[in-house]
Chains A and B, each alone.
Chain A
Amino acid sequence: MKKWASIKNNLPAILFLSIIAGAWEAAVRLLALPAHILPSPTAIVMALIESFPLLAMHTRVTFTAVLGGLALSILLSLLLALAMDRWKPLKQALYPILVISQAVPIFALAPLILIWFGAGLLPKVLIVTLVCFFPLTVNLIEGFSQVDPEAVDLMKTMQAGQLMILRSVQIPSTLPYFFSGLKIAATYSVLGAIIGEWLAARAGLGIFMLRSMHSFRTSQLFASIIVVVILSLILFKLVELTGKLAMPWHKNTQENFKG
C-alpha cells in the first residue's frame, strides 16, 4: 500500500521527466544537432552503458574520497562542537571564525590543499571535509545548545557522571540536528570530491568528466552527470535511512513531546 502511494506521488514527476526527454530526443533529431553540442537522451544512455566499467572504476575512486571526507568531518565537527559547548569562551572565539571561513570560496582553498598535499586521496578527502565540516558543526552546536537543562538536572539527581549525561541525554537529543546537518553535508560531499579531482587527480569522476570534455565526448559528460546525481541521491537516502534506524522514536515525537 505504502509503496504504491509513493509511486503514485512520484508519478507527476516521472511523467514530466519523460515528456522532457521525449521533446529533447525529438529536438536533437529534427534539428540534427551535432552530438558534441547536445547529444540525445538515447545517445547518453548508450554512452552510460558503453563506458559503464570505466565509470564504475572512477565512481569507486570518488566514492572513497567522499566517504573518507564525510567520516573525517563527522569526527572533527563532533569534537569541535562538544568542546565549544563545554567551554563557552571557545565558542565565542571560534564561532565567528567558522562563519567567516564559509565566505572563503572552496575554489580558492582547494588549490592550496593540493599544493600542500599532492594529488592523491588525502587532498580530496580534505576538500570534502572542508565542504562538509561547516553544516555539520553548525547543526551540532545548535543541537547541543538546545539540550533541555531540566533533563540534565534530572540526571544530576541520579548522580550521573559526565559520560552518562553525554550518552543518555546530550547525544540522543542532538541526533536530529546531526542528521539534518549530515543530509546537507552528504549532498555537498560529492561536489567537493569532484572539485578536488578537477584541480588535480589521477582518477575519479571529476577526471572522467575532464577527459570527456577535452575529447568532445559530450554524451559521456552527460553520462557522468547522471552518475553524480545518482551517487548524491544514494548518499542522501543512506543518511535518511540511518537516521530513521538511529532514531526510531523520532517520527512521532514532535507532536507528542509537546503535549
Chain B
Amino acid sequence: MTGTGLLELKEVSSSYYSGETLLPVLDNVSLKVGEGEFVSLLGPSGSGKSTVLKIAAGLLEPDRGRVIYRGRDVTGEPRRVGYMPQQDMLFPWKTLAQNAALPLLCAGSGKRDAAARVEEMLPLFGLEGFGDYYPYQLSGGMRQRSALMRTMLIESNLWLLDEPFAALDALTRENLQGWLLRIWERFKGAVLFVTHSIDEAIYLSDRVYMISNRPGRIILEEVINLPRPRPRQVITTAQFAGYKETLLRTLAGEGY
C-alpha cells in the first residue's frame, strides 16, 4: 500500500523548555507518508502528536533529525501545506466564507474568484447557506467542517490534521469520519491524521503509527488492509477486530 514517499520524518527528537527544565517530548521518531496515503498517528494525550505535526509542517525545528518532503530536506522550513491545528483556528473576525477564502487569497487569487470558489465548495462540506456566519454562530461540527474546508483549499497534496473530530459527540464524529473519507477519495491528497481514538485510526487509515507516552517513541506501525471505499460496517468485521486487538495489546504493553 505504501506509495512513493511524500513526507518522511527521520529520527526526529524534540523538547521544550519549561522555565529552566528541559522537557523531552519526542525521542527518535521516524515515520513516512506516501503519496495519496491516509496515515494516522495514534497515542495518548501529551505524547507529542501535535508536536510531530508542527515539525512536519516546518513550524517547529526539532533538536535532532530531519524532515524530508518530496526528497528535499525541509526541516524547520515553513512551507505551503494543508495544516489544521488542534484548535480549529477559525478567525473570529472573519465569516466562514472569508476564513475559507484565506488560503486562496494567500496564493494570489483575486477576491471575487476566491469567493466564487468557496461558494461552490460549501455544499460539499454541508455548509451551504452558512457562508456569511461568523464562527461563533456555528455549531461545533460545522466549525470542524469549516476548518477542514479551509485546510483543503490550501493548494497542497498533503494534509496534516490534528484531532479534527476530538471535540465532537460520538454520532457527529462517526458521521464526519465517513464524510472525510469521501472527501479524501475525491481530493486524493495524502493525510497525516492525529487521533487518540483506536477505532477512528483503524477505520480511516491505510497505516497507523502508535506513539508512546512522553517522550514519544513510535512503538507500532500497522498496515490496515481493509477494502476501499470503506463502508461503515467494516468496523464490525473480524479483520477490524483483529487490528483493534493488536493496537490494544501494544497499548497494554505500555501500561494502559
Contact = CB atoms under 8 A, between A and B. Distances in A.
A64 interface: no
Contact of B57 (A157, A249, A257): A157
Contacts of B107: 158-159
B117 interface: no
A175 B102 contact: no
Given A157-B78, A159-B79, A257-B136, A151 B59 contact: no
A157 B80 contact: yes
B interface: dominant SS: loop
Contacts of B93: 172-173, 175, 247, 249-250
B154 interface: yes
A155 B78 CA distance: 10
Contacts of B137: 252
B91 A256 contact: no
Contacts of B91: 151, 168-169, 172-173
B43 interface: no
Given A154-B83, A256-B136, A257-B136, A159 B106 contact: yes
> Which of A154, A156, A173, A250 has the most CB atoms of chain B within a 10 A radius of its CB?
A154
A157 B136 contact: no
B87 interface: yes
Nearest to B59: A153
A164 B106 contact: yes
B103 A249 contact: no
Interface of B: 54, 57, 59, 78-83, 85, 87, 89, 91-94, 102-103, 105-107, 134-137, 154
B136 to A, nearest CB: 4
Contacts of A249: 92-94, 134-136
Interface of A: 148, 150-151, 153-161, 164, 168-169, 172-173, 175, 247-250, 252-253, 255-257
Contacts of B59: 153, 156-157
A158 B106 contact: yes
A153 B153 CA distance: 17
A6 B202 CA distance: 57
8 closest Cβ contacts across the A-B interface? A256-B136, A172-B93, A158-B106, A156-B78, A157-B83, A160-B106, A253-B92, A159-B80
Contact of B85 (A154, A169, A252, A253): A154
A158 B154 contact: yes
Contact of A252 (B80, B87, B136): B136
A168 B91 CA distance: 9
Contacts of B80: 157-159
A157 B60 CA distance: 12
19 contacts: A153-B59, A153-B83, A155-B106, A156-B59, A157-B79, A157-B154, A159-B107, A160-B106, A161-B106, A168-B91, A168-B94, A172-B91, A172-B93, A172-B94, A175-B93, A248-B134, A249-B135, A249-B136, A256-B135
